[in-house]
Structure 1
């Protein structure tokens, strides 16, 4: 093995090593994660139950839609401001389909402002599919999926205008947000709407936490999507992440224990010092 590693490190005169042997732990971690993920996905596809803890933000979605129905006012859903290639936007489209199904079941209007023309096409399809899932294809209103502007703060102003003019009883903001997050959250708070927000963008979470009734924080955002869709790929990914985290924590604890046990201070280890003092 040592000869093989030496060959890789010295391969090609004047050339960089083929493999950086110092990164083998990273390779092992990636392979372990991939193995657990594929096994979990296969188990989910076979029908094995993979439990996901229900979180408050998920319950809040149904509560917000129910409140809008009782008040006879629309639901506003903002899927973030990034492009469809952004993973948070893709997840937001999945959640939008669930929200559209619920609003169609309750007969409540759903307004979806978007910043990107491609996202608009995906949002229209998500809302349409949600209405069909509810058995109410007639509930789909194309004009309620609105392209406002591809400029960040022009879009923000447009959404704030919808909040003030049409007075939605529930504001749901899920996706990638940037500097506009505080403006949207404050405007929604001033309008008196119940607000559910979520993002994996850590810099914007404090604003949502301060101004919204419910906030889906970080990885919870992706767990919500997996819970709603029950997609085997999503379930497997979440389970794999949890397993790897557990393994990492266990390795850290073992490492701390071993480092403490074999620590060499002034020629003595922790164990020999303990024996000398208390043995």
Structure 2
């Protein structure tokens, strides 16, 4: 008997379960509205937005929505809906530039209303007050809060949350100016050693003694690339020393603009050395405009003329290994410098010395010993040291729960 009752009960449940579900869906949702609703002018903006915030509700769920209405009249109808969001989204944690990094920010909702978009680009210059109402909806049920929030948008002259960036800029600028002045007073100011640059005199001296040319190879990028600009600056320093040594310099190019700039740079270096008659414009020439024809031509020059020193300076691609291997087979001293990290392994393994990354940019200051360049380079090293100290200090403090220093460099 009990078994029959059990099976009958199961059958009835299976038959009437869809009805129970349908009935449950028709029941009114139990909504608990937020306890407060506030509006305020969004700080650090151009006066086009208003911010709204309210605490979370126990009824927040993925199928519950918050609806915000706007009106220019406090006693208006509030029929214009400006935004509808899910109740489990949009928290104060998304705007640390306003509320910071407090743990309680996750207990409050936050939305930003762009008035210019709502009113089709018309935002009054009279600083009108805008009124907002908040509604909570789930299915066909909706609760509208009695609270009316109001705010008037105002433009701000200063973005206060960017003060940290301004202070950092002032500190770094002061360090740079200090070391520029210091370099002018002390021409022999210490700069950290760069092995590849210390070997430049050795390479040029060897070429002079052997009576063989020095080959300078640009990368494949144009004058708009920062590495090419750095390469032409290094070329000027090398050309000046070659003019003093009365050696032979050959500069190969694959871009006509880079070739023209290189010719002027080398010519100016010979003038500075007091030997304009020794300058030969034919030694700075265009080889080819395509990648691998350029590589084949330069490799042929290295094979035939066997220069005593090869300089590969600039931005390189797949041709890097071919050029460096060809130069290595001729027995030349090879010095490379590039910020192309994909080609650095090939230069490191095939060249005698390699300038890695930003050492390429430091080379002109290192070789010229000009006060402005030296001061800037020294200031960069000091700035890096300060950043390392801040990183270590921030790591230690964050490990003990003090995370404020980790946000000093935030760029809002």
Distance 1:10 1:196, change over 3 A: closer
Alpha-carbon distance between aligned partners in 1 of 2:46 and 2:281, rounded to the nearest angstrom: 63
Output one character per residue of 1:59-112: Cα deviation in whole Å (capped at 9) or x when no partner: 211111111122221110112222122222222222212222222222221110
The secondary structure found in structure 1 opposite 2:312 is: strand
Alpha-carbon distance between aligned partners in 2 of 1:252 and 1:5, rounded to the nearest angstrom: 35
Structure with more of its chain in helix, by fraction: 1
State the match for 1:12 in structure 2: 48
Instruction: State the Cα RMSD in Å.
Output: 2.7
State the match for 1:73 in structure 2: 212
Alpha-carbon distance between aligned partners in 1 of 2:270 and 2:207, rounded to the nearest angstrom: 17
Output one character per residue of 1:155-177: Cα deviation in whole Å (capped at 9) or x when no partner: 22221111111111111111222
Please say if 1:145 is aligned against 2:284: yes
Alpha-carbon distance between aligned partners in 2 of 1:49 and 1:110, rounded to the nearest angstrom: 28
Alpha-carbon distance between aligned partners in 2 of 1:101 and 1:8, rounded to the nearest angstrom: 53
Distance 1:44 1:85, change over 3 A: farther
Superposed, which structure 2 residues align to 1:125-164 within 5 Å?
Answer: 125-164=264-303
Alpha-carbon distance between aligned partners in 2 of 1:222 and 1:5, rounded to the nearest angstrom: 46
Measure how far apart 1:138 and its partner are: 1.8
Runs of 4+ residues over 4 Å off in structure 1: 15-28, 45-49
Alpha-carbon distance between aligned partners in 2 of 1:12 and 1:42, rounded to the nearest angstrom: 46
- With 168-177 and 99-108 compared, the bigger mean Cα shift is at 99-108
**Is the 1:5–1:21 Cα contact (8 Å) retained in structure 2?**
no
Superposed, which structure 2 residues align to 1:212-251 within 5 Å?
Answer: 212-251=351-390
TM-score, normalisation: structure 2? 0.57
The secondary structure found in structure 2 opposite 1:248 is: helix
Measure how far apart 1:47 and its partner are: 5.5
The secondary structure found in structure 2 opposite 1:202 is: coil
State the match for 2:348 in structure 1: 209
Alpha-carbon distance between aligned partners in 2 of 1:258 and 1:115, rounded to the nearest angstrom: 53
The secondary structure found in structure 1 opposite 2:374 is: helix
State the match for 1:113 in structure 2: 252
Structure with more of its chain in strand, by fraction: 2
The secondary structure found in structure 2 opposite 1:8 is: coil
Unaligned runs of 5+ in 1: 264-279
- With 10-19 and 177-186 compared, the bigger mean Cα shift is at 10-19
Alpha-carbon distance between aligned partners in 1 of 2:391 and 2:334, rounded to the nearest angstrom: 39
**Is the 1:94–1:229 Cα contact (8 Å) retained in structure 2?**
no
Distance 1:257 1:163, change over 3 A: same
Distance 1:107 1:50, change over 3 A: closer
State the match for 2:308 in structure 1: 169
Alpha-carbon distance between aligned partners in 2 of 1:205 and 1:5, rounded to the nearest angstrom: 52
Alignment partner of 1:60 out of 192, 199, 204: 199
Output one character per residue of 1:219-267: Cα deviation in whole Å (capped at 9) or x when no partner: 222222102223344223322322221221111121122222348xxxx
Alpha-carbon distance between aligned partners in 2 of 1:135 and 1:214, rounded to the nearest angstrom: 30
Unaligned runs of 5+ in 2: 1-39, 50-113, 118-154, 403-412
Measure how far apart 1:48 and its partner are: 6.9
Alpha-carbon distance between aligned partners in 2 of 1:137 and 1:39, rounded to the nearest angstrom: 37
Alpha-carbon distance between aligned partners in 2 of 1:5 and 1:180, rounded to the nearest angstrom: 58
- With 234-243 and 65-74 compared, the bigger mean Cα shift is at 234-243
**Is the 2:187–2:371 Cα contact (8 Å) retained in structure 1?**
no
Give the greater-gyration-radius structure (CA). Answer: 2
Please say if 1:187 is aligned against 2:326: yes
Output one character per residue of 1:181-202: Cα deviation in whole Å (capped at 9) or x when no partner: 1111111111221111111222
